Amino acid sequence: MRLVCKVMIILVLMVSTLAPITRQVKPQLNYLVGLNMDVEFMDNGLARVTLKQHPFDASGRSLISNKDVVNEIISDEDSFVSLILLFFTTDPSKTSYVVASHSQLDSGEHVLCNTGTPGVMERFDGAVTLVVTVFLNTTTSLVALGNDAYQIVVTDYFTLTDPRSWIDVMDLRFTGNVKLLNFSADPPWAKPPSVANATRLLWLNMNEADAPDNYVLTLQIPGVVFSSIALKLRAEVSEARFSNASSSLLVNIRNTGEDEGVFTVVLSEKGFEQARKISLKPGENAWVKFPVHAPEGEEVEVKVFGGREQLDGHRMTLTEKPAGTPPQAQYAVLGAIGLILMLLGALMILLHLDDRLKEHHQTQAPQHEIPF
């Protein structure tokens, strides 16, 4: 009986190790952040980027006086530097930059953002500011056109990563001998700039639908020493799942190359085009989610880009598969079930052996005559 109890204890302990799969993460500070970005394009191909952030709660109340929230934003400076670089390059590791001013609370700055009231940009006084100077000739966004003319694509990494986030204000300025020759924004339905002249382009983005994914500039910049960056990015679409109930498409992207990089996933359907960005290490894969406008049965196209090079592309018909658990969760659950079945099997074997041992002891017991 002790043997059986021991096995049952082991089984309980082994099953209890599966509990972390569903345990809740320790609660963290919950807040929203208004994001304003100023970019000054200067001579010699330098771009001075100022990222301004102002935290507020779900009711639109400022949290700039909350030291814990502000300190959390300031302490996450390295992540925000990387995000700034991703506005200009698909390979931050090869991009030269200088942190001109570290993250700090600046009471003289302000941030504009929409907190939920349609058509209204709220002004929040005070901001956590971070200033980074980027050397554009070390980025993948700079393309030489000849005669000191360059095309530069500034990509809103926030809205490409998560459709619930975007840059509320994008303020582009051109100083020194830099001249704005032309500009555009995509997707084509994005809201045009509120200010557009030779020295400034200003976008006030009320929501994600208004906000451009890419700000495409043609500039004349003297004194740039152009250097191209050789990239060896490779990726593929490994799986796609359509949900008719939520009108969404999940696309799994796998980095099949040897280098870590940022990949752009583009979904094209009739009348609409969307893009998401994702950073993957070699061999890593992840899911990106798109809202879908087309009904079930229609065809869409998914493409994966590394920089400006298309790495993979598939046309697919929107067909809903039987509901199930995402692959990673399926593997975890199946592994847990397999472990339980294996332990139950071991338990049954041990119970059987225990019964056999009892029978054996009974048959081998010495026989004694009972005197009458």
pLDDT tens-digit profile of 232-245? 788 999 999 998 88
* Contact by Cβ (8 Å): 101, 131: yes
d(C-alpha 153, C-alpha 349), whole Å: 66
CA atoms within 13 A on the CB side of 38: 16
The confidence score (pLDDT) of residue 262 equals 80
Q: Percentage of the chain surpassing pLDDT 90?
A: 39
* Contact by Cβ (8 Å): 277, 252: no
pLDDT in tens, 274-324: 888 788 888 999 998 988 888 888 889 999 988 667 889 888 888 887 544
Reported confidence tier of residue 331, pLDDT bands at 50, 70, 90: very low
For 309-338, b where at least 16 C-beta lie within 10 A, e where not — what string? eebbeeeeebeeeeeeeeeeeeeeeeeeee
Q: Which residue has the higher pLDDT, 13 or 255?
A: 255
Centroid of chain to Cα 204: 23
* Contact by Cβ (8 Å): 267, 290: yes
Reported confidence tier of residue 85, pLDDT bands at 50, 70, 90: very high
* Contact by Cβ (8 Å): 174, 47: no
DSSP conformational letter for 199: S
Q: Which residue has the higher pLDDT, 246 or 231?
A: 246
pTM (two decimals): 0.60
The confidence score (pLDDT) of residue 349 equals 65
Residue 262's closest CA among 139, 163, 169? 139
Every domain of the chain and the residues it spans: 2-22+329-363, 33-220, 235-317
Determine the angle formed by the axes of helices 327-364 and 2-16, rounding to 10 degrees.
180
Q: Looking at residues 154-161, what average pLDDT do you find? A: 79
Q: Which residue has the higher pLDDT, 342 or 60?
A: 60
Q: Which residue has the higher pLDDT, 80 or 92?
A: 80
DSSP conformational letter for 327: H
Residue 169's closest CA among 262, 246, 54? 54
Q: Which residue has the higher pLDDT, 274 or 111?
A: 111
The confidence score (pLDDT) of residue 323 equals 47
The confidence score (pLDDT) of residue 335 equals 58
Q: Percentage of the chain surpassing pLDDT 70?
A: 75
* Contact by Cβ (8 Å): 103, 129: yes
> Which amino acid, 173?
R
Q: Looking at residues 182-192, what average pLDDT do you find? A: 89
Q: Looking at residues 129-140, what average pLDDT do you find? A: 93
* Contact by Cβ (8 Å): 227, 45: no
Phi, psi of 46 (to 5 degrees): -100, 145
For 128-157, b where at least 16 C-beta lie within 10 A, e where not — what string? bbbbbbbbbbbbbbbeeeeeeebebbbbbb
Token code pair at residue 146: 């000849």
The confidence score (pLDDT) of residue 192 equals 93
Q: Which residue has the higher pLDDT, 23 or 45?
A: 45
CATH architecture of 235-317: Sandwich (2.60)
Q: Does residue 257 have a pLDDT over 70?
A: yes
Q: Which residue has the higher pLDDT, 45 or 353?
A: 45
